[in-house]
Amino acid sequence: LFLSFAGMVQKLDQKLPVANEYLLLSGGVREGVVDIDLDELNVYARGTDYDMDFTLLVPALKLHDRNQPVTLDMRHSALCHSWLSLRLFDEGTISKWKDCCTIVDHINGATNYFFSPTKVADWFYDSISIVLSEIQKKPQRGMPKVEKVEKNGTIISIILGVGSSRMLYDIVPVVSFKGWPAVAQSWLMENHFWDGKITEEEVISGFYLVPACSFKGKKDNEWRLSFARSEVQLKKCISSSLMQAYQACKAIIIKLLSRPKAISPYHLRSMMLWACDRLPANYLAQEDYAAHFLLGLIDDLQHCLVNKMCPNYFIPQCNMLEHLSEETVMLHARKLSSVRSDPTEHLRTAIEHVKAANRLTLELQRRGSTTSIPSPQSDGGDTNQPDDRLAKKLQQLVTENPGKSISVFINPDDVTRPHFRIDDKFF
The answer, yes or no, to whether residue 184 has pLDDT greater than 50, is yes
The answer to which of 215-229, 243-257, 295-309 has the lowest mean pLDDT is: 243-257
Q: Is residue 102 part of a domain?
A: yes
Q: Name 165's bridge partners.
A: 162
* CA–CA separation, 379 and 325 (whole Å): 55
Q: Is residue 48 part of a domain?
A: yes
Where does residue 294 rank: exposed (0-12), middle (13-18), buried (19+ CB within 10 A)? buried
**pLDDT tens for each residue of 250-274:** 888 877 776 667 788 899 999 999 9
Question: Three-state DSSP class for 38?
Answer: coil
Q: What is the CATH number of the domain that holds 144?
A: 3.30.460.90
Q: Is residue 332 part of a domain?
A: no
Q: Is residue 367 part of a domain?
A: no
The answer, yes or no, to whether residue 385 has pLDDT greater than 50, is no
Q: Is residue 68 part of a domain?
A: yes
pLDDT band at 287 (very low <50, low <70, confident <90, very high): confident
| pLDDT of amino acid 147 | 86
**pLDDT tens for each residue of 36-70:** 877 767 888 888 889 889 999 999 999 876 566 77
| pLDDT of amino acid 252 | 82
Q: Is residue 254 part of a domain?
A: no
Q: Are strands 52-63 and 165-178 parallel, antiparallel or unpaired?
A: parallel
| pLDDT of amino acid 397 | 53
| pTM of the predicted model as reported, rounded to 2 decimal places | 0.81
The answer to which of 101-105, 274-278, 296-300 has the lowest mean pLDDT is: 101-105
- Determine contact, residues 230/208, Cβ cutoff 8 Å: no
Q: Considering its fold, how many domains does the chain have in total?
A: 1
Can you give the residue range of the structural domain that contains 55?
A: 1-179+205-229+406-426
Average pLDDT over residues 139-151: 79
The answer, yes or no, to whether residue 373 has pLDDT greater than 80, is no
